[in-house]
Amino acid sequence: MAPSQVDAAPDMDEETPAALPESRVLIIGTGGTICMTQGPDGLAPSVGFLERAMAPRPSFNDRSGLHEPVKLQAVRNGIPINLPSLRTPPTAHKRHIRYSVLEYDPLVDSSCISASDWSAMATTIRENYHLFDGFVILHGTDSLAYTASALSFTFANLGKPVILTGSQSPIFDLQSDAVDNLLGSLIIAGTYVIPEVGLFFHHKLHRGNRTTKISAASFDAFASPNCDPLALVNGLGIQVNWPLVLRPTSIAEFKVESPLDTTHVACLRVFPGIRPEMVDSVLRLPHLRGLILETFGMGNVPGGADGLLTSAIASAVARGVVVVNVSQCVSGFASPVYAPGTLLSRAGVIFGLDMTAEAALAKLSYLLARNDDPPQISRLFSRSLRGELTEPTLPTFTHPAPIPSPPPQPV
């Protein structure tokens, strides 16, 4: 018998694309290379990212079936608005990701990012927190690790993914890393409940406050040397390292903390031959409350027989300036193991363990904004508040006091 020419009725138990669930993600466009176009004076930020960069690409715009344009409710500066939306084709988990783009006006050059911009991003997340399942922030790469660290401390009781990403070349270029970075961020934010501030770049989702930029040109531009990635994208799909993902330890409402105080902190990188008066001049800046000191190896600074550099630091600590010691090395930690580091510890310097300089700056700015006193800041710096450090399993090494000589025995 010849095969029937009548199409078999579809299995009603089989889920059709129209019936697939949708997650909602808000993409917050702050600027950066990812949205730039070539102009007469070089690369410059351009607006209309949804229509110009995402709508023409099938991976971002599911054109299958007939569906009316959908607008998503969002909030901008306290005012409800309706944003045009697109959705992705079905993911491996049989789910569409519907998203809208909320662009800042004006767009921000990431080298000009400040604490006020971090506060604006946090406010946008807070205003839209209950309207979306996850958030993606488009950002320039120059200060991307700083912003990821800052937002991690700004958010308390975070229950949804907030993923920052960008690119080394514009999305409009023929050869660009932008599509992979954006698509990976979008799918993870709309699929997995990873309640952290993450940084997605070159197929890896890192904990944001563990990252640092390691290349100005390579597509593999960010690393998390002291913490494994939270997720990897490869030929097998998306693999989430669930044991590493932080989970809320209590039932509490999401909130945005006070803006970080970056106006009263400084960073100083020591170098061979640095003069004590240079360090002292920084420590005597008007209204300075904290200093991130980037030191050699495991936390060492140039010494010298006179000890003037350590004395200048000890004097600042006595005046109430909080000094935090982090290593210049890409991986490893700062701890008072060697004599120069021990002298700093005795002078009251806080050791930042395996924190990046970006995370240490954000954490210090966060604690200063809370008006914590130096002893409290010192205690909290050895604790992981947002997964920013590896808590020591043993007490921090300290040199033992000399053993007194036994009294002479009578003859």
Three-class secondary structure of residue 83 per DSSP: strand
Cα–Cα separations (whole angstroms), residue 345 to 137, 245, 295, 314, 398: 39, 32, 13, 10, 9
Specify whether 23 is located in the same domain as 157: yes
Specify whether 232 is located in the same domain as 375: no
Minimal CA–CA distance to 296: which of 328, 333, 267?
328
Distance CA 142, CA 340 (A): 33
Specify whether 113 is located in the same domain as 184: yes
Minimal CA–CA distance to 33: which of 125, 111, 115, 148?
111
pLDDT at residue 308 greater than cutoff 80: yes
Average pLDDT over residues 240-249: 94
Orientation of helix 308-318 relative to helix 339-346, angle to 10°: 30
Distance CA 361, CA 83 (A): 35
Is there a domain that residue 154 lies in? yes
Specify whether 321 is located in the same domain as 252: no
pLDDT level of residue 302 (50, 70, 90 thresholds): very high
More confident residue, 12 or 141: 141
Is there a domain that residue 1 lies in? no
pLDDT level of residue 394 (50, 70, 90 thresholds): low
Give strand pairing partners of 82: 73
- Asked whether the beta carbons of 209 and 215 are under 8 A apart, the reply is no
Is there a domain that residue 237 lies in? yes
pLDDT at residue 43 greater than cutoff 90: no
- Asked whether the beta carbons of 67 and 85 are under 8 A apart, the reply is no
Is there a domain that residue 3 lies in? no
pLDDT level of residue 10 (50, 70, 90 thresholds): very low
Show which of 256, 289, 322 is a domain's final residue.
Answer: 256
Show which of 208, 235, 256 is a domain's final residue.
Answer: 256
pLDDT at residue 404 greater than cutoff 70: no
Domain tally, the chain: 2
pLDDT level of residue 227 (50, 70, 90 thresholds): very high
pLDDT at residue 6 greater than cutoff 50: no
- Asked whether the beta carbons of 389 and 352 are under 8 A apart, the reply is yes
Minimal CA–CA distance to 36: which of 170, 138, 164?
170
Residue 365: CATH number of its domain: 3.40.50.40
pLDDT at residue 9 greater than cutoff 50: no
Distance CA 201, CA 6 (A): 49
pLDDT at residue 75 greater than cutoff 80: yes
- Specify the pLDDT at position 84: 98
Specify whether 250 is located in the same domain as 295: no
Average pLDDT over residues 338-346: 92
Distance CA 227, CA 92 (A): 27
Specify whether 119 is located in the same domain as 48: yes
pLDDT level of residue 157 (50, 70, 90 thresholds): very high
Query: What is the chain's Cα-based Rg?
Result: 25
Specify whether 232 is located in the same domain as 120: yes
Average pLDDT over the chain, rounded to an integer: 91
Is there a domain that residue 399 lies in? no
- Specify the pLDDT at position 396: 53
pLDDT level of residue 45 (50, 70, 90 thresholds): confident
Give 162-178 pLDDT, tens digit per residue.
999 999 999 999 999 99
Question: In a 10 Å sphere around its CB, with 0-12 CB exposed, 13-18 middle and 19+ buried, how is residue 205 labelled?
Answer: buried
Residue 131: CATH number of its domain: 3.40.50.1170
Specify whether 142 is located in the same domain as 30: yes
Distance CA 274, CA 304 (A): 11
- Specify the pLDDT at position 13: 41
- Specify the pLDDT at position 410: 62
- Specify the pLDDT at position 294: 98
**Range of 154's domain?**
18-256
Quickly count: other Cβ atoms within 10 Å of residue 284's Cβ.
13
| 33 is known as an active-site residue | yes
Q: Which of 16, 30, 33, 396 is catalytic?
A: 33
- Specify the pLDDT at position 248: 84
pLDDT at residue 12 greater than cutoff 90: no
pLDDT level of residue 3 (50, 70, 90 thresholds): very low
Question: In a 10 Å sphere around its CB, with 0-12 CB exposed, 13-18 middle and 19+ buried, how is residue 203 labelled?
Answer: middle
Specify whether 324 is located in the same domain as 240: no
- Specify the pLDDT at position 411: 54
Specify whether 196 is located in the same domain as 300: no
Give 314-325 pLDDT, tens digit per residue.
999 999 999 999
Is there a domain that residue 8 lies in? no
Is there a domain that residue 395 lies in? no
Write phi, then psi, for 83 (nearest 5 degrees): -110, 140
Quickly count: other Cβ atoms within 10 Å of residue 383's Cβ.
9
Distance CA 132, CA 159 (A): 12
Distance CA 201, CA 205 (A): 7
Minimal CA–CA distance to 341: which of 4, 246, 332?
332
Distance CA 27, CA 25 (A): 6
Helix (H), strand (E) counts: the chain: 9, 20
> Would you state the structure tokens that stand for residue 364, as one six-digit string?
């210090």
Give strand pairing partners of 74: 81
Specify whether 42 is located in the same domain as 63: yes
Specify whether 218 is located in the same domain as 273: no
Percent of the chain whose pLDDT exceeds 70: 90
Is there a domain that residue 11 lies in? no
pLDDT level of residue 68 (50, 70, 90 thresholds): confident
